[in-house]
Amino acid sequence: MNDYLAGLTTEEINQKTKMIDECTTEQMLRLLNEEDAKVPAAVAEVIPEIAQAVDICYRKLKAGGRMLYVGAGTSGRLGVLDASECPPTFGVDPELVQGHIAGGDIALRVAVEGFEDKEEEGVALIERCGVTDKDAVIGISASGSAAFVIAGLRQASKLGAATIGVTNNRRSKLEAVCDVCIAPVVGPEVIMGSTRLKAGTAQKLVLNMLSTSTMVKLGKTYDNLMVDLKASNLKLYDRSIRIIQEATGVEQGLAKVYLERASMNCKLAILMIRTGMNAENAALALARTEGSLKAAIRTSAQAL
């Protein structure tokens, strides 16, 4: 028996759900719901560590670096999910926030469990990605023991990158190779060891906080509006129009006109309406403020 694994909180037996196979459907669902309700409190306890990680990611991205999620199994899939949502939500290049899973993209659909034990694959991934001291690498492992993730973080650290760990056990192996370790402890799972449940939910919340807060600090929102979204389909086009209306107070028809004039760039359209600038000058104003819409509006108002 592996003494390390046997001692993990995520591997313990949940005494409250031992008879789940004898429950009615509703009783079973209530047990799951009651256990899930513990997750936000566990995440709240580690907000200081999440804040440290956000500040690291912000500094790296602002200086031209990247965020790279590295994980295996459920943890890897969650990293890929969070990374893949950043371009449509915040209008960033797909290379800026990346998600990588042990076993490659096929592991997103089919379990490739053995790869999480391969240290050499973790090292090779970091090398293939060209990680440098400009980057932040976030390793995700519920147990904190995935060799693929640990080796990847260790190699990233050697290359000067910032390293952040997301796990669900305290004093894990992962912690030893991280600059910052985020460890929301959610307790034993409803089904013993099934970390796709509470542990996975906690990881999803943490990754939401990491990417969203980093992007907000980078000026990717105006108030709480996602002004850097890409109007790449009908839903996002409609959302862009509503965002422009909310930010400027104009009618729908005028919002559509300005979105067209701004080449479907929601942020640019808002700045044009708020300042009276044409698209070219508005783009220059945004460039001078590193993409911050509020700063561009303030600067333009001061210049009048």
Using alpha carbons, select from 99, 85, 84, 93 the residue that is nearest to residue 137: 99
Active-site annotation holds for 116: yes
| Sign of CA pseudo-dihedral 224, 225, 229, 233 | positive
CA–CA–CA angle 224, 227, 230 (5° rounding): 135
Of the residues 12, 85, 119, 175, only one is catalytic, namely 85
Of the residues 11, 35, 49, 116, only one is catalytic, namely 116
Strands laid side by side in the 136-140 sheet: 97-101, 67-71, 136-140, 162-166, 180-182
| Cα distance between residue 77 and residue 95, in whole Å | 17
Residue type (1 letter), 171: R
* Contacts (Cβ under 8 Å, ≥6 apart) of 13: 188, 192
Active-site annotation holds for 12: no
Catalytic residues, which ones?
85, 116
